[in-house]
Amino acid sequence: MAAVSSGKQSSVPAPADLIRVIFASGNAQLNRDLVERAAQTHSNHPLIVVAEFEPAHGEWVAWHPFRGYEENLASLRAAIGDRKIASAAMALCPGVPLAPMRRAARAITGGTLMAYDEKLRIVRGLGRVEYTARRILEAAASARAKKWLRRVAHPKEAEIPLRARAAQLYGLVASRTRGMRADEPTMAGLDAKNDGVTVVIPSRNGRELLATLLPHLLPQIASLESAQDGPSPRDLERSDFRSLAPRSERPLRSGEILVSDNGSSDGTAEWLAATYPTVRAITNERPLSFATAVNAGIRAARFKHTLLLNNDMIVAPGFVDALLKPFATIPDLFCATAQIFFPPGIRREETGKAVWRQENPLDFPVRCDDPLPGEDLTWVLYGSGGCSLFDTQKLRALGGVSEIYDPAYVEDLDFGYRAWRHGWSSVFCASAQVEHRHRATTSRYYTRAELDVFVEINYLRFLANAVSSDDLFRRLWRAAIRRLQLNGSLETLRRIPGIGPRPVEITGTLSEEEILALGGGDIAIFPGTAGNRPVVVIASPYVPFPLSHGGAVRIFNLMKHAAADYDQVLVAFTGELETPPAELLAICAEVILVRRHGSHYRRETSLPDVVEEFASLSFRATLKQTMRRWHAGVVQLEFTQMAQYADACAPAKTILVEHDITFDLQRQLVNTSTESGAAQLELRKQLDKWTAFETAAWKSVDCVVTMSGKDEQTVAGARRVACIPNGVDTVRFNPTHDDPDPRRLLFVGSFAHLPNLLALEFFLRDVWPLLEPAYTLHVIAGARHDYFLDFYRGRVRVDLAQPRIELEGFVADVRAAYQRAALVLAPLTASAGTNIKVLEAMAMGRVVVSTTAGINGLDLKPGVDVVVTDSAGEMAERIEALAGDPAARKSLERNARETALRYDWREIAGRQSALYPTLSDGLTAELSLPADSPA
């Protein structure tokens, strides 16, 4: 967005021009009141408002709080230019962090500046002393002051903030003095080489719960056996298992169930021996913590996989098999965790899809999200210790379940996080389903308040014992203590656990920040159709379906034709997580969506704003983990801004697809802009950033793909450049025999792309008034066109509320629009790459009227294939002539169709598919499969 927006274009002001300036440095209400008062004041001097957000009145100069003072000041000076400040005002408001704006106000306004307080009273000269004194008196009478006075009178009420301050200080000191733990604990000398599953069920006086659980679980464990004497799995399914189970004396060969009888007094062990003799009980005479009870079972496990299962779970059919499947296809898998449901009528408190997300300072940082329809095998920070399958040896390498978490809770977060630090992943398995009778055991022995305290204390233990990064630990510790203070958790603040040595350095490929980002709830994975073919990853800033813009058209069509030869994994940003369209799942082995959080804030960095908008730790972590899961030979980075992720794609070869040469487009926008001041300064700044970023990006990838030979010649310093032009589906876009309306014009172009709006502005301003009133202009503006009209209104003013103009947003099938219109417009004034809409119109046998920029990069013959002119007057004349000359139109239509056939997607897709093996010698089905996957 331009730094300055105004309601109308204005010429560069003369030096004598006088202006009024308001610095909106107060809270939202005070800023609105101050601007409103200024707008109602009778004055001939234009009003300028310096603010974070666009005001209701005046010319807006954007203040970017995340950019440096000097940069904001430079933009402000550029916006004012040679104009003189007649009067200036700023807002004073306690607690508003806009001191740099107020500093800038004083720097440029001289003696014209006036300050206003929250009640719009002037604060000036000696009045500042009065203002300060008034603020002190108001603070003394505030609710906060009264609260502290009450705490003085009642010391116990002061204990919470005092203990919180002490805990914050303790965490700060400990983080700077703690050494490094020598080693991770292990269960030395234990091995589990046998294929199969050991189920470990901790149980304290849970005989009734086991009686409900085991009949659902035992058939699934029995079905893991090799064919032997005794009842078959089919017999077990057809019979009353309660009567069959006790007669089976054979030990399970590919599975076993261990009940860690945790100090029970209800005869659990005796009941198991009599009723379910194949279930082994490990008895503990006294009640132990959850972790200690589970570890007894982990030590005794005989099989490669250990299923930790609470006794208050009811497993659905196929539960065990569903948890086993991911271990066959996902390398270094530590845990597959189940989807959790609750009994009917009870609110679902957990789902199994655990995410690290704190949207409110009062919230616990871990929560459960509902999975989306079709979502499966999404990475999670940890698997629930009550219904998850683990790699036994990896679990033992961590020392089992840490026993510092007494009596229960948070231990699963601990071992899941520590596993990620080793590079061992956890995934959510949607098809493995359980019903949870929540806290059926712990609630017998502890109150809800006591359980909440256990959770909070154990979370602090987790931070102290699992987080290695000192900076990350300090940030999370501060947030945790602040949350306890805000929630009034005095009992927890009284029992702050000790902070010992930090764990050993991370050994996996993800940093701790990336681990948390990967489990932050912004990622969802959807399996498609894999065919044991070479794997290519497509990384895109947009989901390429529906086909709402030219970039999506290209990506989808090339993926559609490559699907026969390659397993394609799509990793794409999205505004909101939702199930991908079936059209994408049909051509992908997997679709991974990453939610992008938008913001109006612009940071001061060396990168262009668009690159910063797509900078995401979640996306970077996703790419790294995708490489490990799929071992792709090639990663294709769509659009220039995605080049920032080239280093996250190792060891795959990387292709950067330059849909346009972005700095070339930015340069055209600078050269054709009529803006001045801060807006022009911002355009030039972005041009410099794009030039530096893009030219460096070419050197960071293994191959750059361009849309045209012209763009190919522009790329310098790249290891390799290939031209794979845009195309068109000539089967779908096919001429019809219906005659179009000769005076119906069509403009197709998403308003999300600024050059499309600039093109429409040129046509409506300079060409449309020259045409006879009989013409109709049909505009297809793409998704969210109203938003982009508003977003770019500081750059472009397009009046679409005119007679004879038909406006539509996104249209799924534009062929009917092409059929009705005799002429298709492409009046671009700035362009890079190539225009897919031109090719679609030509394939439909329609005459394209274009500027030179509109057919940029396409090998077309003006006057033969298309009509080309950069003159508004000549464009109007050619439109009038073609409308009245059907024979001339027919000739151009035939030539357009013939030329479009040279750009068929099938031929172009062949070029792309042929490029992949030349980059990666290992791009074969055998080498590109996920580790341990079946041939």
How many C-beta atoms surround the C-beta of residue 481 within 10 A?
Answer: 24
The model's confidence at residue 98, banded by pLDDT at 50, 70 and 90, is: confident
Residue type, 809: G
pLDDT of 532 reads 86
Minimum mean pLDDT among 352-356, 470-474, 523-527, 783-787: which range?
Answer: 783-787
Inform me whether the pLDDT recorded for 163 exceeds 50: yes
Residues 6+ apart with CB under 8 A from 8: 797
The model's confidence at residue 153, banded by pLDDT at 50, 70 and 90, is: low
The model's confidence at residue 251, banded by pLDDT at 50, 70 and 90, is: very low
DSSP string, 132-149: HHHHHHHHHTSHHHHHHH
CA-nearest of 301, 308, 344, 305 to 324 is 305
Mean pLDDT, residues 335-352: 90
The model's confidence at residue 159, banded by pLDDT at 50, 70 and 90, is: confident
H or E element, residue 663 = helix 662-672
Residues 6+ apart with CB under 8 A from 136: none
Q: What is the pLDDT of residues 458-501, one digit of tens each?
A: 999 999 999 999 999 999 999 999 999 999 899 999 999 999 88
Q: How far apart are the first and last CA of the chain?
A: 52
pLDDT of 6 reads 38
Mean pLDDT, residues 59-63: 89
Q: What is the pLDDT of residues 188-235, one digit of tens each?
A: 667 777 899 999 999 988 899 999 999 999 999 988 864 334 443 333
Mean pLDDT, residues 617-635: 97
pLDDT of 287 reads 82
In this prediction, what percent of the chain has a pLDDT beyond 90?
62
Give the whole-angstrom CA distance, residue 631 versus residue 642: 20
Residue type, 660: D
pLDDT of 348 reads 84
pLDDT of 274 reads 93
CA-nearest of 335, 543, 337, 290 to 432 is 337
Cis, peptide link before residue 917, omega less than 30° from 0: no
pLDDT of 827 reads 96
Tokens of 47: 């009003």
pLDDT of 930 reads 37
Mean pLDDT, residues 381-410: 92
Tokens of 883: 């409308």
CA angle 605, 607, 612 (to 5 degrees): 90
Q: Which residues of 697-729 are buried (b: 16+ CB within 10 A; e: fewer)?
A: bbebbbbbbbbbebbbebbeebeebbbbbbbbb
Give the whole-angstrom CA distance, residue 904 versus residue 842: 12
Is residue 763 within 8 Å of residue 747, measured between CB atoms? yes
Chain center to CA of 681: 31
The model's confidence at residue 248, banded by pLDDT at 50, 70 and 90, is: very low
To 10 degrees, what angle do helices 886-900 and 872-883 make?
Answer: 110
Give the whole-angstrom CA distance, residue 123 versus residue 108: 19
| More confident position, 99 or 898 | 898
Inform me whether the pLDDT recorded for 152 exceeds 80: no
pTM comes to: 0.85
Inform me whether the pLDDT recorded for 291 exceeds 70: yes
3-state DSSP call for residue 765?
Answer: helix
Give the whole-angstrom CA distance, residue 654 versus residue 567: 16
H or E element, residue 891 = helix 886-900
pLDDT of 142 reads 56
| More confident position, 487 or 150 | 487
Inform me whether the pLDDT recorded for 566 exceeds 90: yes
The model's confidence at residue 15, banded by pLDDT at 50, 70 and 90, is: very low
What phi, psi does 366 have (nearest 5°)? -115, 135
Residue 441 half-sphere exposure toward CB, CA atoms < 13 A: 27
Give the whole-angstrom CA distance, residue 837 versus residue 750: 10
- Report strand pairing: 590-595 vs 523-527: antiparallel
Inform me whether the pLDDT recorded for 325 exceeds 80: yes
Q: What is the pLDDT of residues 805-817, one digit of tens each?
A: 999 999 999 999 9
pLDDT of 192 reads 76
Query: Average model confidence (pLDDT) for the chain?
Result: 87
Q: What is the pLDDT of residues 835-854, one digit of tens each?
A: 899 999 999 999 999 999 99
Give the whole-angstrom CA distance, residue 464 versus residue 502: 7
pLDDT of 133 reads 52
Inform me whether the pLDDT recorded for 243 exceeds 60: no
Residues 6+ apart with CB under 8 A from 348: 340, 341, 342, 370
In this prediction, what percent of the chain has a pLDDT beyond 70?
88
